[in-house]
């Protein structure tokens, strides 16, 4: 079962009327159902105290923090936090992009409750661009290996290694700059290496044909 032990949620403005923190013994993720929204069921709530006597929040909009006074399916020591953030997104943190599929990351970005940040957007674009980067790197190194002028095998290998190193450093630098908001958009961070190296790869491929 998808359980979080000793959850400690910091409540934002509008939900902090009864206290700034929401602490319980356990929290269980519950997917959306026909008659209930998706979110987290908190058991043995410790803070805020006497929550069972209070109304759900916010009082002037769609409820996010559900209390037993308004919802009969909650026990006196329980509450429910409505959220579009699923269990994997909440518990994995920054590691979410390392293990999630591209479809899961795109789905996460579509959720209003989950802000993956620029680094997640850069990762999505990077996965799309990755096959093109591999082909570009191939055409950067291949002319050095098959060229008739490269009679020294060790020199050609060393030059190929240098090109690969420079290529990877540029790719990683662009991704880091995009994640840190130093580039105008995450898409540019992923596609910029292609813009830089594709013309060079085309020129080297043409020189190999000659």
pLDDT, tens digit, 9 for 90 and up, residues 115-126: 556 777 888 889
Identify whether 88 is part of a domain. no
Tell me: cis bond preceding 105? Omega within 30 of 0 counts. no
Number of domains present in the structure of the chain: 2
pLDDT value for 80: 94
Q: Band of the pLDDT at 198, cuts 50, 70, 90?
A: very high
Domain span holding position 199: 117-209
Of 40, 61, 83, the domain-final residue: 83
Asked, as a colleague might, if the bond just before 58 is cis with ω within 30 of 0, I would say yes
Task: Of 11-15, 36-40, 128-132, 203-207, give the lowest mean pLDDT range.
Answer: 203-207
pLDDT value at residue 134: 93
Rounded mean pLDDT of 148-176? 83
- Note whether residue 199 is domain-resident: yes
Instruction: Please give the radius of gyration of the chain, using alpha carbons only, rounded to the nearest integer.
Output: 26
Quick one: 125 and 71 in the same domain?
A: no
Answer whether residue 203 shows pLDDT above 90: no
* Structural domain contains residue 90: no
- For the stretch 55-69, pLDDT in tens is 999 867 788 899 999
Judge whether 166 lies within some domain: yes
Same domain? For 76 and 158 the reply is no
Do 44 and 127 belong to one domain?
no
Model confidence at 13: pLDDT above 70: yes
Query: Higher model confidence: residue 82 or residue 111?
Result: 82
Residue that terminates a domain, selected from 83, 109, 133 = 83
Residue 40 lies in a domain: yes
Phi-psi sector, 50: left (phi>0), alpha (psi -120 to 50), beta: left
Confidence of residue 113 (pLDDT cuts 50, 70, 90): low
CA 105/CA 180 separation, integer angstroms:
19
Regarding whether 122 and 77 lie in a shared domain, the answer is no
Residue 99 included in any domain: no
pTM of the model: 0.57
Residue 197 and residue 144 share a domain: yes
């Amino acid at each position: 079962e998808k359980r979080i032990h000793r959850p400690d949620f910091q409540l934002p403005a509008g939900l902090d009327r009864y206290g700034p923190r929401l602490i319980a013994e356990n929290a269980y993720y519950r997917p959306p159902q026909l008659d209930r929204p998706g979110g987290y069921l908190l058991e043995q709530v410790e803070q805020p105290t006497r929550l069972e006597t209070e109304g759900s929040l916010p009082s002037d909009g769609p409820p996010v923090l559900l209390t037993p006074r308004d919802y009969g399916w909650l026990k006196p020591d329980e509450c429910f936090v409505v959220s579009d953030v699923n269990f994997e997104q909440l518990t994995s943190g920054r590691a979410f992009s390392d293990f999630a599929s591209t479809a899961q990351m795109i789905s996460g970005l579509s959720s209003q409750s989950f802000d993956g940040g620029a680094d997640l957007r850069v990762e999505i674009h990077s996965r799309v661009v990755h096959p093109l980067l591999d082909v570009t790197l191939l055409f950067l190194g291949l002319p050095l290996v098959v060229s008739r002028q490269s009679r020294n095998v060790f020199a050609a290998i060393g030059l190929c290694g240098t090109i690969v190193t420079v290529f990877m450093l540029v790719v990683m630098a662009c991704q880091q700059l995009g994640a840190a908001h130093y580039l105008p958009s995450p898409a540019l961070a992923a596609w910029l290496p292609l813009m830089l190296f594709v013309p060079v790869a085309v020129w080297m491929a043409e020189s190999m044909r000659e």
